[in-house]
Amino acid sequence: MFKLFSNGMVLQPDMSFKQSNILVQNETIYDMLEPGQTPEKLVESEVDLHGQIVFPGLINAHDHLIDTCWQPLGETPVENWYEWDHSMRADPLYKLMQKLSVTDLYTVGMYKNVISGATTVVDHFPAEVSGTFANHDLTTLLEHFYLAHSTSENQLQWGRNAIEQFNQARGILPFIIHAGEGKNKEIKEEIETLNRLGALEKNTVLVNGTCLQESDLQLITSKGASLVWLPESSSRIFGQQPDIRRIIELGIPLTIGTDSSASGSSGIIQDLAKALEFSRQNLDNMISAQDLVKMVTIDAARIFGIEKHSGSLAPGKRANFIVFNDRENVDPFEHFISLKPENFSMVIHKGTMVVGNDEFRKLSSIDFTQYSEVRINGIAKLLYGRPIQLLDRIRHKLGMDITFSFFNLTAEE
């Protein structure tokens, strides 16, 4: 089946814009057509975007979907990650959260991501669990990577042996591990430990890095490893951000993630806004809004080795993209980051509209029974799946009325 998304102002791989028509076949972009160019294939569904801006689907470089909660948990700020983790697990709401099934937690977490425009998510959890949801209709979870929680003696029980996991990655697939999440001696020595083990190389992706020191950053640079910045999580849990200025100066590949909603983030757009605010207030605008969008598209795709099918819009790549209205005389990247998820006109995942305005109803006309008519923060939307029933089931299991900050949903009357 071929769908044509016509008259869009499409973000190009070089971060410029070009008016294009996107021809989609099933889950893939088949062609990018010039205005007025007639498709060579029979188009079964066409949607006129009327000049709206089209961005690639974002890549959330770090989440823990199993810890999806309706509000931030744990005492903050702390000096070391495990202090927050212990307080989080002692929180009555965390204990209540254990009544929910893994499927429900993951599904709400995927909704959190996709309504914020993240069509690809790196879920930092063992494949025995996360792999079950890898090919979900809502959003794509990164599949081919190896992981450990950290090198800390306090690492969580699901943490794997770091050197074994690194060796299995064979220097090709990403090896993802937390680092720099505290100030005690053991955590301060994590980068040296990884290097001594031979597990700090170009395919190593370090998550958080809030407390990394100059010597750590120099070693990371020499090895070519990458870093995932968690703006909201770092701010809330540690009361500070990594040394982003030095990270940028050293040229360390950098992308952005949300961490779980339990740590404070309501979605990737919130983290981009936090990062932009930090750049303006602390970095003399060293990082622009355009830089941040690149970090969660092209840069993230390169870091995780998925640039052949994700991170930009081109023939042969996955049909994952976001559509939103321009604002006159406003930088489109800054405008994008200022938006709330409910302001997006449409989010497409693997060629299918997952969330969108009613005006795009005909995209789902093939099987409209798969969609719900809802209001997200009061704005009418079509949303894939049965989210109202999901939330009702969760509230029934919890025995209380809760509202997810990132998923304030009501049924459309």
Say yes or no to pLDDT of 30 above 90: yes
Q: How far apart are CA 255 and CA 122, in angstroms?
A: 12
Give the pLDDT confidence score for residue 366 in this predicted structure. Answer: 53
Q: Tell me what the mean pLDDT of segment 398-407 comes to.
A: 93
pLDDT tens figures, 215-240: 999 999 999 999 999 999 999 999 99
Give the pLDDT confidence score for residue 283 in this predicted structure. Answer: 98
Give me the residue spans of the domains in the chain: 2-57+312-368, 58-303
pLDDT tens figures, 381-391: 999 999 999 99
Mean pLDDT, all residues of the chain: 95
Say yes or no to pLDDT of 79 above 70: yes
Give the pLDDT confidence score for residue 159 in this predicted structure. Answer: 76
Give the pLDDT confidence score for residue 368 in this predicted structure. Answer: 67
Q: Tell me what the mean pLDDT of segment 306-333 comes to.
A: 97
Percent of the chain with pLDDT over 90: 90
Q: Which CATH superfamily is domain 2-57+312-368 in?
A: Urease, subunit C, domain 1 (2.30.40.10)
User: Quick one: pLDDT band at residue 70, thresholds 50, 70, 90?
Assistant: very high
Q: Tell me what the mean pLDDT of segment 293-304 comes to.
A: 98
Q: How far apart are CA 52 and CA 20, in angstroms?
A: 11
The answer to whether 63 and 300 are in contact (CB under 8 A) is no
Q: How far apart are CA 19 and CA 9, in angstroms?
A: 4
Q: How far apart are CA 327 and CA 325, in angstroms?
A: 7
The CATH classification of domain 58-303, taken from the options 3.20.20.140, 3.30.420.40, 3.90.1150.10, 1.10.10.1100 = 3.20.20.140
User: Quick one: pLDDT band at residue 247, thresholds 50, 70, 90?
Assistant: very high
User: Quick one: pLDDT band at residue 361, thresholds 50, 70, 90?
Assistant: confident
Other Cβ atoms closer than 10 A to 352: 20
Q: How far apart are CA 118 and CA 227, in angstroms?
A: 19
Taking each helix axis from N to C terminus, what angle separates 190-197 and 162-169, rounded to the nearest 10 degrees?
A: 50
Q: How far apart are CA 156 and CA 114, in angstroms?
A: 27
The answer to whether 162 and 133 are in contact (CB under 8 A) is no
User: Quick one: pLDDT band at residue 162, thresholds 50, 70, 90?
Assistant: very high
Query: Rounded to two decimals, what is the model's pTM?
Result: 0.97
**Three-state SS annotation for the chain:** CEEEEEEEEEECCCCCEEEEEEEEECCEEEEEECCCCCCCCCCCEEEECCCCEEEECEEEEEECHHHCCCCCCCCCCCCEHHHHHHHHHHCHHHHHHCCCCHHHHHHHHHHHHHHCCEEEEEECCCHHHHHHHCCCCCCEECCCCEECCCCCCCCCCCCCCHHHHHHHHCCCCCEEEEECCECCHHHHCHHHHHHHHCCCCCCEEEEECCCCCHHHHHHHHHHCCEEEECHHHHHHHHCCCCCHHHHHHHCCCEEECCCCHHHCCCCHHHHHHHHHHHHHHHCCCCCCHHHHHHHHHHHHHHHCCCCCCCCCCCCCCECCEEEECCCCCCCHHHHHHHCCHHHCCEEEECCEEEEECHHHHHHHHHHHHHEEEEEECCEEEEEECCHHHHHHHHHHHHCCCCCCCCCCEEECC
Say yes or no to pLDDT of 301 above 70: yes
The position carrying tokens 């937390």 is: 178
Residues forming a β-bridge with 21:
33
Give the pLDDT confidence score for residue 403 in this predicted structure. Answer: 93
Say yes or no to pLDDT of 151 above 80: yes
Say yes or no to pLDDT of 251 above 60: yes
Say yes or no to pLDDT of 64 above 60: yes
Q: Smallest Cα–Cα separation from 142: which of 211, 228, 231, 215?
A: 228
Q: Smallest Cα–Cα separation from 174: which of 267, 47, 303?
A: 303
Say yes or no to pLDDT of 367 above 70: no
Give the pLDDT confidence score for residue 364 in this predicted structure. Answer: 53
For 182-191, 270-279, 402-411, which range has the lowest pLDDT when averaged over its residues? 402-411
pLDDT tens figures, 164-181: 999 999 999 999 999 999
Say yes or no to pLDDT of 158 above 90: no
Residues contacting 28, CB < 8 A, separation 6+: 316, 317, 318, 319, 351
Q: How far apart are CA 279 and CA 59, in angstroms?
A: 20
pLDDT tens figures, 90-137: 999 999 999 999 999 999 999 999 999 999 999 999 999 999 998 899
For 73-77, 107-111, 159-163, 255-259, which range has the lowest pLDDT when averaged over its residues? 159-163
The answer to whether 152 and 186 are in contact (CB under 8 A) is yes
pLDDT tens figures, 389-402: 999 999 999 999 99
